Chains A and B, each alone.
Chain A
Amino acid sequence: MQELIYFDNAATTKVSKSVLDAMLPYLEQFYFNPSSIYSAANFSKEAIEKARGQVAKAIGAQSSEIYFTSCASESNNWAFDIAKKRKAQVHFITTEIEHVSVLRTAKYQEKEHKVTYLGVNDDGRISLGDLEKNITKNTSLVSIMYANNETGVIQPIDEIAEICAKKGVLFHTDAVQAVGKLPIDVKKQKVGMLSLSGHKFHAPKGIGVLYVNKEIQFNSFLFGGSQESGKRAGTENVANIVAIGCAIEEAMVCMQKENEKIQSLRELLFDGIMQIPQVKFNGCRNHSLPNILNFSFEGVEGEGILLHLDLNGICCSSGSACTSGSLDPSHVLMAMGLSHATAQGSVRISLSKYNTQQEVHQFLDVCGPIIEKLRAISPIWQRS
């Protein structure tokens, strides 16, 4: 197999060597059930609490406010469940550009409750006035993602949280893409609940977190044992918990240095891709994660680009309908006002600390010719 160029780090990341080294003993030696009474099991119990502290510190929370879950999808589902049980009449506010784990959870609530979906401007950001206008006395949750997984666009989280605090509404943010890339302080930023996922910052898949501010009263989400303060039963995934603690600590220590490196690669990619005629940048230059870029290439469809990139050993994603298995192109790009054809021709490039300048150059060498080749076949390129 040729050496892969992995530009799909918003989908998942490689587990780092140090994280792997930290977690392996909890599969091989300290495999005990942390709830067991014997002293050997104590190692596992302590390791979980150490990791809880690491996660808490990374986002400015207290350890007791950190709940380990199986993934951020679970965290997002749980956040809605918590909010739903707080009021008799329930109104949710979210956005049109959320990850499906929020969107479909919200959609399900529509059976019994009112849900408002805020639109976004063409730069992918919500309007604060729009949010304020839609909050009513029944609003029990505002759930707005920290940064978008397709475009990397960062929402005005501080201002959103301020509005929610002023109106006394619980605020949840799906911070899956933001954690490890942006400094987060849930207390200063007045975030009530926050979801995050380990595999986006070099921990393995299968471990997520829901932060819930201690002022919030809530019941158990999974019934059973007394794990996670009795709120989420199930024997802890000790190795993965150790891994997420290690990974988040590493991400915090290296954030600035890594962001600088990733950002320079991103700029190199941006400048190179913008050389291609009729390409549209989908995002917001001033409010963006350092690692995600999204472009639409007029006249071509995303899957074709991805297949050609794959033949060149490059892994990327697309917001095209074909790759998502539905007929509709990316809901995020459509919400930003792109036409169907333009949204279909989108490609997302997402970087990590493991990417290199050489990889960026290799990408740029093949990207232009691929677009040219597909445009030569395209009936709509001929027209434009």
Chain B
Amino acid sequence: MYSKKVMDHFTNPRNVGCIVDADGVGEVGNAKCGDIMQMFLKIEDSIIVDVKFKTFGCGAAIATSSMATELIKGCSLENALALTNNVVLEALDGLPPAKIHCSVLAAQAVKAAIGDYYKKQGINPEPIVGRIVSCQGCED
């Protein structure tokens, strides 16, 4: 059902945990839909120097959030914001159709965390990161 890469990130998720003094924290999803993702960013000079995540959800939810952290670690905020769910999908060698929404959620978690960073800087995040759809399934 899952690719080797998905199973690798599911069984050995990278960057698990939280950052107590994070510069930006994003949370998307809800228990109703079965997935909750939290992302913590440490940002220096517009570069993501550290990232951690925690996820409640299925194998795909854990793998996509793990992969998303790998893809944005060391990136500029600009590049991190360019992360789409397709990039996450490709990096994991695809997901079953019913699980595509997990990759959307992972990309949204990154945006939510960067949005929170801008907010903390006193900058309105919406023009930069766009609207965060917390859960595609229930439009929550």
How far apart are A381's CB and chain B's nearest CB, in angstroms?
A: 8
Return the CB mask of A296-337 against B: 1 if under 8 Å, else 0: 000111011001100100000000111001010100000000
From B10, B31, B34, B137, A307 is in contact (CB under 8 Å) with: B10
Is B4 interfacial (CB 8 A cutoff)? no
Q: Which of B11-19, B74-82, B83-91, B114-122 contacts A (4 or more CB under 8 A)?
A: B11-19
Is A339 interfacial (CB 8 A cutoff)? yes
From A321, A327, A329, A378, B56 is in contact (CB under 8 Å) with: A378
Bound complex: CA A341 to CA B33 (Å):
9
Is A379 interfacial (CB 8 A cutoff)? yes
How far apart are A67's CB and chain B's nearest CB, in angstroms?
A: 37
Query: A304-B59, A340-B31 are known contacts. Are A379 and B36 too (CB-CB below 8 A)?
Result: yes
Contact A379 B38, beta carbon cutoff 8 Å: yes
Residues on the A chain within 8 Å of B99, using CB: 322
Main secondary structure of the interface of B (DSSP, over half): mixed
Residues on the B chain within 8 Å of A329, using CB: 34
Q: Which of B38, B60, B62 has the most CB of A within 10 A?
A: B62
Is A376 interfacial (CB 8 A cutoff)? yes
The number of chain B residues touching the other chain, given as a range, is 20 to 34
Within 8 A of B (CB), among A350-384: 376-382
Is A76 interfacial (CB 8 A cutoff)? no
Contact B34 A380, beta carbon cutoff 8 Å: no
From B27, B35, B55, B137, A377 is in contact (CB under 8 Å) with: B55
Q: From B36, which residue of chain A is reached at the shortest CB distance?
A: A379
Bound complex: CA A71 to CA B4 (Å):
36
Contact A311 B11, beta carbon cutoff 8 Å: yes
Residues on the B chain within 8 Å of A379, using CB: 27, 36-38, 54-56
Within 8 A of A (CB), among B90-130: 98-99
Bound complex: CA A62 to CA B119 (Å):
75
From A320, A327, A377, B62 is in contact (CB under 8 Å) with: A377
Return the CB mask of B39-62 against A: 1 if under 8 Å, else 0: 000000000000000111111111
Interface size counted on chain A using CB atoms at 8 A: 25
Query: A304-B62, A327-B137 are known contacts. Are A380 and B33 too (CB-CB below 8 A)?
Result: no
Contact B58 A340, beta carbon cutoff 8 Å: no
Is B20 interfacial (CB 8 A cutoff)? no
Q: From A311, which residue of chain B is reached at the shortest CB distance?
A: B11
Residues on the A chain within 8 Å of B27, using CB: 379
Residues on the B chain within 8 Å of A340, using CB: 31-32, 34
Contact B10 A301, beta carbon cutoff 8 Å: no
Is A9 interfacial (CB 8 A cutoff)? no
Q: From B13, which residue of chain A is reached at the shortest CB distance?
A: A377
Residues on the B chain within 8 Å of A311, using CB: 11
Q: From A326, which residue of chain B is reached at the shortest CB distance?
A: B98
How far apart are B122's CB and chain A's nearest CB, in angstroms?
A: 27
Contact A380 B56, beta carbon cutoff 8 Å: yes
Is A344 interfacial (CB 8 A cutoff)? yes
Contact A377 B58, beta carbon cutoff 8 Å: no
Contact A341 B98, beta carbon cutoff 8 Å: no
Contact B138 A327, beta carbon cutoff 8 Å: yes
How far apart are B25's CB and chain A's nearest CB, in angstroms?
A: 11
Bound complex: CA A46 to CA B88 (Å):
61
Q: From B99, which residue of chain A is reached at the shortest CB distance?
A: A322
Contact A301 B34, beta carbon cutoff 8 Å: yes
Residues on the A chain within 8 Å of B11, using CB: 308, 311
Contact B18 A382, beta carbon cutoff 8 Å: yes
How far apart are B26's CB and chain A's nearest CB, in angstroms?
A: 11
How far apart are A330's CB and chain B's nearest CB, in angstroms?
A: 11
Contact A382 B54, beta carbon cutoff 8 Å: yes
Bound complex: CA A341 to CA B2 (Å):
23
Contact B34 A321, beta carbon cutoff 8 Å: yes
Within 8 A of B (CB), among A264-295: none
Contact B31 A300, beta carbon cutoff 8 Å: no
From A308, A325, A341, B31 is in contact (CB under 8 Å) with: A341
How far apart are A329's CB and chain B's nearest CB, in angstroms?
A: 7
For the complex of A and B, the 6 pairs showing the least CB-CB separation, nearest first, are: A341-B31, A322-B58, A303-B58, A379-B54, A379-B38, A321-B34
B residues near A, CB below 8 A? 2, 7, 10-11, 13, 16, 18, 27, 31-38, 54-62, 98-99, 137-138
Known: A379-B36, A379-B55. 16 other contacts (CB 8 A): A301-B34, A301-B61, A304-B59, A322-B34, A327-B32, A327-B34, A340-B31, A344-B31, A376-B16, A377-B13, A378-B54, A378-B55, A379-B54, A379-B56, A382-B18, A382-B54
Q: List 13 A-B contacts (CB under 8 A).
A: A301-B35, A301-B56, A301-B58, A304-B10, A307-B59, A321-B33, A322-B60, A341-B56, A377-B55, A377-B62, A378-B55, A379-B36, A380-B36
